Amino acid sequence: MAAIDINRRHSLGLDTAKERAEQLAKDLEHKLGITWRWEGNDIRFDAKSGAAKGVTGVVAVSGSDVRVAIDLPFLLKAMKGSISSKVEDKLDKLVV
């Protein structure tokens, strides 16, 4: 089970939601050094180095909602609340 699991409904349509999810992934790639790839309607991501080292997860996009599930390494679990809050803020902006 993911350490962080957040779901938001949207009315953007699948294509727009996927475009916004990809922009989020590109932003995180730039800021945190994550690597990501599309698998169907899901963006799979992980960080092999940097501040987010050991983080893995998925952004699952559908025509009606976006779900973010993140597994945190042991050293980042103490920051779960802060990380979750930041993810919620980003996700809320994504689905507007």
Q: Is 25 within 8 Å of 59 (Cβ atoms)? A: yes
pLDDT tens string 56-95: 999 999 999 999 999 999 989 999 999 999 999 999 998 8
The C-alpha atoms of residue 63 and residue 82 are separated, in whole angstroms, by 28
Whole-prediction pTM value? Answer: 0.91
Banded model confidence at residue 2, pLDDT cuts 50, 70, 90 = confident
Q: Is 74 within 8 Å of 81 (Cβ atoms)? A: no
Residue with tokens 């042991």: 74
Dig out the tokens for 11 from the structure. Answer: 């009315």
- List, in sequence order, every residue forming a beta bridge with 9; answer none if it has no partner: 65
CATH code of domain 4-90? 3.30.310
Share of the chain above pLDDT 90, in %: 83
Give the mean pLDDT of 12-40: 95
The C-alpha atoms of residue 71 and residue 92 are separated, in whole angstroms, by 20
Domain borders along the chain are: 4-90
